[in-house]
A and B are shown apart, each in its own frame.
Chain A
């Protein structure tokens, strides 16, 4: 398609809000007051952490989900249900295992009532375009992950959608496969071979966003909002090692860590329990502290470099950094992770002393953990049902997050030997032997 044509407005999202109601108590807001507009000829990325509502927004745009309030205009008209001209590529591929590659690709055309001969021709063209020629009669289970996602792409492209939605399309693939698929897709786009007018992708990978998108909308979490909008000025194909490219990645890291909540200062204003904990294993935390303390970082690590050398994505690394910050072991500032004194002490300590330090930090800065321990100390039998804490958490967050938060509290508390947990009875208890 010709990108020099005057860009037309495709999609407008106005004041969309999505909330989750928990039995008439306060609504939990997933998306709050989101405005997005999309024109033809651009690739737009929705970048944010998991739980920032970006996938929810994508589903609203796809017409799979109706927003609680606000408006979605597709080509100037209000959207009701999945629109013609919008096709989606799924993170999990979502291929029908009982259909061959050809049949999977033809599915959207069949739904449109395209005659058989026409259907077959177009499907074959799409399969060839995406580099899967020869695999028409294969079933998805015979294909590798990268090839499956190619089928997913072909299935979306074959209906010639105006807008192609991609929900973390490369995150289920290994690094090498993902990179090949990204460059193939960008090549097709720049050569004007993709039969789409615009592309909207959700990602939590900063480099991927900078590599592919013309415009990046950075989402903040809790509730999901568009925190900032960035234009990527580089022409395709882009070079990851270009200093300007690196600078932009660094800037986005800084932007996202700055936006990260700083509970140490915010804690007093929050209700005691309402802090959401991300499930980070204590093993990983200890490993991260050791890595940052050791050369070449020596107590201060640049997040993009750290993510690169540890093979971690932003989505993995940021929660770890935040956990360290929460516990006063380290601090996130301007795209760096810096160890604090307590973190250095932790590195030098032996196993028991580490547990001691971790336990003190937990009781001081995680109200949930402190409260569980307090309740257990007060009870004569030193047992307490976990369900009461879960219920309390659910007043402030969705059941999923409540479960996640509680299981994090269980794991951290176990590591610090503050309490034990009996999974069968779903009870916290203090060990008798101690």
Chain B
């Protein structure tokens, strides 16, 4: 076989144009990040640290600050995911308590806790911007981490047994098994959930940049605080500029990160058959074309490879041990510790609640919770009636579906709270009742989850079933009832769970709105929590958040879970 040219290696290492372009981008970002990091150590009362100006020229800078917070939170979420989920999956005992905890955490409306976390982090770094920054990052983290951890946990629990046995029989250590088998297997799900988390995170980053607890107000430079300031100044132009800046940021994030990552993670999909492949996104192509970057990422990959290949062992042998007696004693000890912990926590709650709350507070919160529940139910119904037919129509027309899908995903990622001021201005202008007209804000950002899931469902509807329906000339309402609605239902439920959970969370910011000195307040649990926060009434905030969590958990357990179970039992082949 003829040999290849010897100059091959040296030619390949020469940087090309793409390398220069990529290099400029990387260094620009690095320098900016360094500048921002220095800023966080500034004292909080220094004028340049927290001053926000409405000049649109400042927006690019604010947008970068907002984005950086987002990625800092993402990093924390990934660390959390890899530790918490692994622990829950690997230790049977830990899993007993960690998994339900995660499940509840997923349902807690974290916006309500913003005030506590701000106070906590400000206490850690008194008088420094870093405290407020950390509080904001923590808020975003809490919106991202849970479903990522759940995704990894579920993947770890469902690693195909043949691969697991193969890795054991080749005597891979637990560490090697984790990086060689379990993480790659979990990758597609994790990447997808990370993306969903990021989409949700924009909402929280915007909400967490301007926080006031009692008399104290913190504003961190960013798009969210820019909008908050615009509201105080009744400057609708500035709001529009902020929306535009956010559009650019999300578009960039979608193109530069989302698409390449999803395309990249496809190679970990556990299917032996080659599936239909979409074309590589342009960023991935660019990365593959740059010689230096490819070499650099190759080097990083090798380091990571060596890291995962370390023969670390944590005592766990290749054989699954079943030492019953020792395990039983351990179980008893574990349960005892757990029981003590529970008792302590319960005592804490009871003593706190009895000191600062009356039964009437609870009934008030429940009553308001029911009001918000009615809102969520009405909105979900309306959104379903509108978006299911639209999604089916789009999904069954591949040409349209392919175009609409990214748009819907994009809209889901867009922080809807940026649009609130526009609605508020309209309500103030036309004097509508806040109880009714503030309500649509709750679903403004979350309805798109229904749309894009239904589009996905309709476009995945099997061609042979469509042909069968046409062959038997099934049409009209019969077609909806017997053919397409059951077909898209599993997808609809997936979207609706996300949408309804998001709506509860959005209630905290959607039921109270202000425009300059005008305040609009709707009756509901969200407004209750928001007002308690503004008054600094900690006990009421805790109560409100707890009641809302209870509502969300009940809603999930009594409605969505059974529906989801039904969908996967009955509606799939």
- The digit string for B460-498, where 1 denotes a CB below 8 A from any CB of A, is 001011011111111100100011001101000000000
B467 proximity list for chain A (CB < 8 A): 59, 62, 64, 88, 90, 94
User: Do residues A84 and B486 form an inter-chain contact, with CB atoms below 8 A?
Assistant: no
Measured CB to CB, the nearest residue on chain A to B567 is A98
A82 proximity list for chain B (CB < 8 A): 470-473
**Does B328 belong to the interface (CB within 8 Å)?**
no
**Does B4 belong to the interface (CB within 8 Å)?**
yes
**Does A265 belong to the interface (CB within 8 Å)?**
no
**Does B171 belong to the interface (CB within 8 Å)?**
no
A417 proximity list for chain B (CB < 8 A): 1
User: Do residues A96 and B8 form an inter-chain contact, with CB atoms below 8 A?
Assistant: no
Which stretch from A16-24, A211-219, A300-308, A377-385 is at the chain B interface? A377-385
User: Do residues A430 and B470 form an inter-chain contact, with CB atoms below 8 A?
Assistant: no
Measured CB to CB, the nearest residue on chain B to A424 is B267
A-B contacts at CB below 8 angstroms, number: 92
User: Do residues B5 and A380 form an inter-chain contact, with CB atoms below 8 A?
Assistant: yes
**Does A415 belong to the interface (CB within 8 Å)?**
no
Select A432's contact among B8, B468, B473, beta carbons within 8 Å. B8
User: Do residues B2 and A377 form an inter-chain contact, with CB atoms below 8 A?
Assistant: yes
User: Do residues B5 and A382 form an inter-chain contact, with CB atoms below 8 A?
Assistant: yes
User: Do residues A425 and B12 form an inter-chain contact, with CB atoms below 8 A?
Assistant: no
Measured CB to CB, the nearest residue on chain A to B3 is A434
**Does A108 belong to the interface (CB within 8 Å)?**
yes
Given A64-B467, A432-B4, check contact A98 B486 (CB 8 Å): yes
Given A82-B471, A88-B468, A107-B482, check contact A381 B570 (CB 8 Å): no
Measured CB to CB, the nearest residue on chain B to A106 is B482
Select A64's contact among B3, B12, B470, B474, beta carbons within 8 Å. B470
**Does A117 belong to the interface (CB within 8 Å)?**
no
User: Do residues A159 and B472 form an inter-chain contact, with CB atoms below 8 A?
Assistant: yes
A155 and B464 alpha carbons, distance in the complex (Å):
14
Measured CB to CB, the nearest residue on chain A to B294 is A425
- The digit string for A386-412, where 1 denotes a CB below 8 A from any CB of B, is 000000000000000000000000000
Q: Which B residues from 1 to 30 make CB contacts under 8 A with A?
A: 1-5, 7-8, 11-12
Given A94-B467, A110-B478, A430-B4, check contact A141 B472 (CB 8 Å): no
A381 and B478 alpha carbons, distance in the complex (Å):
61
User: Do residues A64 and B8 form an inter-chain contact, with CB atoms below 8 A?
Assistant: no
Closest-CB distance, B492 to chain A (whole angstroms): 13
**Does B573 belong to the interface (CB within 8 Å)?**
yes
User: Do residues A111 and B475 form an inter-chain contact, with CB atoms below 8 A?
Assistant: yes
Closest-CB distance, A163 to chain B (whole angstroms): 12
B7 proximity list for chain A (CB < 8 A): 380
User: Do residues A97 and B572 form an inter-chain contact, with CB atoms below 8 A?
Assistant: yes
A115 and B319 alpha carbons, distance in the complex (Å):
64
Measured CB to CB, the nearest residue on chain B to A99 is B482
Select A94's contact among B462, B475, B489, beta carbons within 8 Å. B462
Measured CB to CB, the nearest residue on chain A to B481 is A110
User: Do residues A110 and B474 form an inter-chain contact, with CB atoms below 8 A?
Assistant: yes
User: Do residues A84 and B473 form an inter-chain contact, with CB atoms below 8 A?
Assistant: yes
A91 proximity list for chain B (CB < 8 A): 464
Measured CB to CB, the nearest residue on chain B to A109 is B472
A431 proximity list for chain B (CB < 8 A): 4
User: Do residues A96 and B473 form an inter-chain contact, with CB atoms below 8 A?
Assistant: no
User: Do residues A111 and B473 form an inter-chain contact, with CB atoms below 8 A?
Assistant: yes
User: Do residues A90 and B572 form an inter-chain contact, with CB atoms below 8 A?
Assistant: no
User: Do residues A87 and B482 form an inter-chain contact, with CB atoms below 8 A?
Assistant: no
Closest-CB distance, A220 to chain B (whole angstroms): 26
**Does B571 belong to the interface (CB within 8 Å)?**
yes
Please tell me the number of chain B residues within 8 Å of chain A, measured between CB atoms: 33
User: Do residues B4 and A88 form an inter-chain contact, with CB atoms below 8 A?
Assistant: no
Given A98-B486, A98-B570, A159-B472, check contact A382 B462 (CB 8 Å): no
Select A110's contact among B5, B267, B462, B482, beta carbons within 8 Å. B482
Please tell me the number of chain A residues within 8 Å of chain B, measured between CB atoms: 41
User: Do residues B570 and A139 form an inter-chain contact, with CB atoms below 8 A?
Assistant: yes
Measured CB to CB, the nearest residue on chain B to A98 is B486
A140 proximity list for chain B (CB < 8 A): 573
**Does A92 belong to the interface (CB within 8 Å)?**
yes
B288 proximity list for chain A (CB < 8 A): 424-425
A38 and B113 alpha carbons, distance in the complex (Å):
75
User: Do residues A382 and B4 form an inter-chain contact, with CB atoms below 8 A?
Assistant: yes
User: Do residues A380 and B11 form an inter-chain contact, with CB atoms below 8 A?
Assistant: yes
User: Do residues B11 and A381 form an inter-chain contact, with CB atoms below 8 A?
Assistant: yes
A90 proximity list for chain B (CB < 8 A): 464, 467-468
A81 and B464 alpha carbons, distance in the complex (Å):
16
B489 proximity list for chain A (CB < 8 A): 98
A107 and B7 alpha carbons, distance in the complex (Å):
69
Given A64-B471, A88-B468, check contact A98 B8 (CB 8 Å): no
- The digit string for A69-113, where 1 denotes a CB below 8 A from any CB of B, is 000000000000110101110111111111100010001101110
A312 and B177 alpha carbons, distance in the complex (Å):
40
A159 proximity list for chain B (CB < 8 A): 472
B8 proximity list for chain A (CB < 8 A): 381-382, 432
B468 proximity list for chain A (CB < 8 A): 88, 90, 94, 96
Measured CB to CB, the nearest residue on chain B to A91 is B464
Given A140-B573, A382-B5, check contact A96 B486 (CB 8 Å): yes
A93 and B465 alpha carbons, distance in the complex (Å):
9
Closest-CB distance, B293 to chain A (whole angstroms): 14
Select A111's contact among B2, B464, B472, B573, beta carbons within 8 Å. B472
User: Do residues A62 and B472 form an inter-chain contact, with CB atoms below 8 A?
Assistant: no
Given A96-B465, A425-B288, check contact A62 B4 (CB 8 Å): no
Among B7, B482, B572, the most chain A Cβ lie within 10 Å of the Cβ of B482
B12 proximity list for chain A (CB < 8 A): 381
A94 and B472 alpha carbons, distance in the complex (Å):
12
Closest-CB distance, B294 to chain A (whole angstroms): 10
A380 and B8 alpha carbons, distance in the complex (Å):
8
B462 proximity list for chain A (CB < 8 A): 92, 94
User: Do residues A88 and B571 form an inter-chain contact, with CB atoms below 8 A?
Assistant: no
B11 proximity list for chain A (CB < 8 A): 380-381
User: Do residues B472 and A107 form an inter-chain contact, with CB atoms below 8 A?
Assistant: yes
B1 proximity list for chain A (CB < 8 A): 417, 434
User: Do residues A88 and B471 form an inter-chain contact, with CB atoms below 8 A?
Assistant: yes
Given A92-B464, A381-B11, A382-B5, check contact A97 B474 (CB 8 Å): no
A430 and B486 alpha carbons, distance in the complex (Å):
51
Select B464's contact among A84, A94, A380, beta carbons within 8 Å. A94
A99 and B469 alpha carbons, distance in the complex (Å):
13
A108 proximity list for chain B (CB < 8 A): 472-474
B2 proximity list for chain A (CB < 8 A): 377, 430
Measured CB to CB, the nearest residue on chain A to B474 is A111
Closest-CB distance, A152 to chain B (whole angstroms): 9
Closest-CB distance, B450 to chain A (whole angstroms): 20
A159 and B571 alpha carbons, distance in the complex (Å):
25
Closest-CB distance, A423 to chain B (whole angstroms): 9
User: Do residues A87 and B3 form an inter-chain contact, with CB atoms below 8 A?
Assistant: no
21 contacts between A and B (CB under 8 A): A81-B470, A82-B471, A90-B467, A92-B462, A94-B464, A94-B467, A96-B465, A97-B571, A98-B486, A98-B489, A98-B571, A107-B472, A110-B474, A110-B478, A111-B475, A112-B473, A381-B8, A381-B12, A382-B5, A431-B4, A432-B4
Which A residues have a C-beta under 8 Å from some C-beta of B?
59, 62, 64, 81-82, 84, 86-88, 90-99, 103, 107-108, 110-112, 139-141, 155, 159, 377, 380-382, 417, 424-425, 430-432, 434
Which 9 A-B residue pairs are closest in the complex by CB-CB distance?
A108-B472, A94-B464, A98-B486, A94-B468, A97-B573, A111-B474, A434-B1, A88-B471, A98-B571
In the complex, given contacts A90-B464, A108-B472, A111-B473, what are 10 additional A-B residue pairs having Cβ atoms less than 8 angstroms apart? A64-B471, A96-B482, A97-B573, A108-B473, A110-B478, A111-B478, A112-B473, A417-B1, A430-B4, A432-B8
